[in-house]
A and B are shown apart, each in its own frame.
Chain A
Amino acid sequence: MSATSPNQIDVEADVVDSESKPNRQLSYGKITNDALWTNNAGMVQLLGLCPLLAVTGNIINGLGLGIATIITLTCSNMIIAFTRNWVRKEIRIPYYVLVIASIVTIIDLSMNAITPELHSVLGIFIPLIVTNCLIIGRAEAFASKNDIPRATLDGFMMGVGFTLVLVALGAIREILGSGTLLSGASLMFGSIAESWTLTLFDNYQGFLLAILPPGAFLVMGLLIALKNVIDNRIKAKQA
């Protein structure tokens, strides 16, 4: 992870110039807007692609990874913003790795003890988060340069933006791949959700490509294209 993350961060710093200027205080509205759309973690920064593509075979898995990411990212941004004045810049990357790995371990252990049912669903996603460049990317690009409330909001909103992409990707792949929506919802929401699963086509044989990783890349590409189309339309209207 540490071998690739510096590159990721450089790329990202080019994308969003405003965040690399340390002393400028961003408004909360702009942070939210950036995280959810303009600088979306999944579709613009393209961070954390490995878990993103690996688990989004259906909505519920996407939602599971999303929730786990929101928790981790909010905590890590908060802690890194809190300690930002005490960390020498030479050791900041190992420091981020240390903080993120500790947070993930603590969340994993606590969830396993407190909510074993939820852990049996989200448990497989939590180790995936350690390998997620998104977390260290936000630590470097935002949390280390902003105050605690802004960094916390950024972490939470980036997580939400990431979750939205995961859910959209999961929904499209689930419809194409297995012809259902929300299958397995009862794993996450309990027995009330048993009737939530929608079977869209009867006797659908499934389109295997959509469920496997290559399908994830294709759908992801289409989603990014769709976002660009929307952005261009907005620009054209404003002009």
Chain B
Amino acid sequence: MNSIKALLSNLVSADDSHATAMKKAGLSLAIFAFISVFFVAITDKLTAGKIAENQAAMLLNALNEIAPQNSYDNDLIASKVIVNKTEFNKTKSNKSAIGFMNNTPVYLATKNGQAATAIFEVTTNKGYSGAITLLVGVSASSQTITGVRVVKHKETPGLGDKMEIKKTPPNKTPWVLDFNNKSLSKPELSAWNVKKDNGEFDQFTGATITPRAIVNAVKSTLLYAQDNMNALFTIEIQSNKTNQESN
């Protein structure tokens, strides 16, 4: 410790020639950079595991809001399938499904080896200011919505962000809960729009684009689920069976 101090004090002396001053300045900056990186690296090492754990717990919390814990008995986070975005967008009955930006992770909840709920983490770029990421839960048996939650967005504070349950005033019903138990036949496919586009869903005062983006994203997800639900679960259930047999 003392030798470092001595070295550092030596590096500050003012009566150096220009060349020596430059060398010393470079050296001392390098020493400080090394010390800083050392501390950042230590912190990263110490916290990495805990952070990953926290994020998994948060994801599980969000998923459990849509598929309650008693509705499935598999490891929800581990049973994740990634649907390629081009595949998602080109599904036959899904021509209207434009604007999905990323590959879509799908979390598959099963109970007693039977398909229960598929939770799609879709990201649409049709928001007012950039991407909106939603969790859309679809029941495997009835193809109805079990829940919709907005997890990430950059919509206008005070207007577009009313789709967050947390931002809903306490005396009002959160808007995203309107989706519960809806399906492609309830309402009719043509009514899967905001009221301004002759549909069934409310828009917000002063913000139509955000609800429109979300309604369309949910509709597209339902259309995709209608065609692919079985295929998604087949792989998952089979792999579970092989796991159990090998156990």
Of the residues A105, A112, A206, contact of B51 by C-beta under 8 Å: A112
Cross-interface CB contact of A110 among B8, B47, B156, B170, cutoff 8 Å: B47
- Structural contact, B167 and A98, CB atoms closer than 8 A: no
Report the minimum CB–CB distance from B21 to chain A (whole Å).
7
* Interface size counted on chain B using CB atoms at 8 A: 37
User: Using a CB-CB cutoff of 8 Å, which residues 65-98 of chain A contact chain B?
Assistant: 83, 85-88, 90-91, 94-95, 98
Interface 0/1 of A158-178, CB less than 8 Å to B: 000000000000000000011
Number of interface residues of A (CB under 8 A): 41
A131 beta carbon closer than 8 Å to chain B:
no
A57 (CB) vs chain B CBs: closest residue: B157
- Contact residues, B15-56 vs A (CB, 8 A): 21-22, 24-25, 28-29, 32-33, 36-37, 39-40, 43-44, 46-47, 50-51, 54
Closest CB of chain B to A38's CB: distance in Å? 33
Whether A184 lies near B166 (C-beta < 8 A) is yes
> What is the minimal beta-carbon distance from B174 to any residue of chain A, in angstroms?
14
In the complex with contacts A95-B32, A112-B51, A106-B43 CB distance below 8 A: yes
> In whole angstroms, what is the CA distance A110 to B167 when docked?
27
Cβ-closest chain B residue relative to A86: B8
> When the two chains form their complex, are residues B170 and A197 in contact, meaning their CB atoms are under 8 A apart?
yes
Assess whether B235 is interfacial by the CB under 8 Å rule.
no
Answer whether residue A236 sits at the interface, using C-beta atoms and an 8 A cutoff.
no
C-alpha gap A116/B54 in the complex (Å): 7
Q: Across the interface, which residues of A come within 8 angstroms of B173, CB to CB?
A: none
Give the complex CA separation of A106 and B159 in angstroms: 34
Query: Helix, strand, loop or mixed for chain B's interface?
Result: helix
Beyond A113-B47, A113-B54, A184-B166, whether A98 also contacts B32 by CB under 8 A is yes
Residues of B within 8 A of A (CB): 5, 8-9, 11-12, 21-22, 24-25, 28-29, 32-33, 36-37, 39-40, 43-44, 46-47, 50-51, 54, 57-58, 156-159, 166-167, 169-171, 205-206
Ordered by A's residue number, 16 sampled pairs between the chains whose C-beta atoms are within 8 Å are A57-B158, A58-B157, A87-B12, A88-B25, A95-B29, A95-B32, A110-B47, A112-B47, A112-B51, A116-B54, A177-B158, A183-B169, A186-B166, A197-B170, A211-B156, A211-B158
Given contacts A106-B39, A109-B51, A112-B54, list 13 more A-B pairs with CB under 8 A.
A58-B157, A85-B12, A86-B5, A87-B12, A102-B36, A110-B47, A113-B46, A113-B50, A113-B51, A194-B170, A206-B158, A206-B159, A211-B157
